[in-house]
Amino acid sequence: MGRRFAYVRVSTREQNTDRQTAELRQYVDNEQCIIIDKASGKDFNRPNYQALRQLSTAGDTIYIKSLDRLGRNKEAIKNELAYFKNKGVRIRCLDLPTTMIDTDNDLILDTITNILIEVYGMIAEQERRNIRQRQQEGIEQAKAHGRHLGRPRAAYPAQWDEVYSQWQAKDITALKAMELLGLKRSTFYKLVKQYQQEHQQEQTHHE
C-alpha cells in the first residue's frame, strides 16, 4: 500500500480551500498529506505542487477534486498525468468517475479516462480563456469610463494647479515650486508625470 495525498488549489490567497479539503478528507485523513497551493492554474510553477511531484513515489495515490485544480492548460495537464503514470503514481479525480474505480482492467479504464481528460481539459482551457477575456473587457470598460486601474493615484497638494502653471510658464523654478508646495524632488516630479498623463488621457478621450 502506497501513501495517499490530496492536492488542493485555489487561484488567489483570498479564496477558501475548505470545500475542496472537506471532500478530499474522505480519502486522505492525514492533514500533513493534504497539499495546498494558492496560485494560478496557468502553469505548474507552484511550490507545493512541485514538492508533491518530487515527493510522490511508485504506489502512491494523489486525489484531486477536479481536473482544473491540477491546471488549466489541456496539453500541460496531459503531460503531468503521463509523468505520474510513468512514475507509478495514480491520480484520482473526484469529478472523473473512471479514475476512482479499482480494477485490473487498466486498458478500458485508460481509454475512457483519456477521452474524459480530453473533454475536461478543453473545458478548463476554455474557462481560462474566458477569464482572461472578461478581465480584458473589464479593463477596457473601466478605461472607457475614465476609471484608473492599478495603484491609487497620488493626491495633489493645495495650490497645485496655480504653482504648476507658474512653473510651466517659467515664472518660478522647480525648486521654488517644490518649496511652495512642500514637496520633495522625487514626489514633485512624480506628480508632474501623473498630472501630464491625466491631461493627455482627457484630451484623447475628447478627440
Torsion-angle region of 206 (φ positive above 0: left; ψ -120 to 50: alpha; else: beta): alpha
- The C-alpha cell 475614465 sits at 146
Residue 11 burial by CB count (10 A; 0-12/13-18/19+): exposed, middle or buried? middle
**Distance, CA of 128 to CA of 125 (rounded, Å):** 5
Spell out where 57-110 has E strands: 61-64, 90-93
Contact 9, 41 (CB under 8 A): yes
**Residue 11 known to be catalytic:** yes
Instruction: Please pick, among 11, 66, 165, 186, the residue that the annotation labels catalytic.
Output: 11
Contact 9, 37 (CB under 8 A): yes
Count of beta carbons in the 10 Å neighbourhood of residue 206: 6
- Of residues 49, 50, 55, the one with CA closest to residue 35: 49
What residues act catalytically? 11
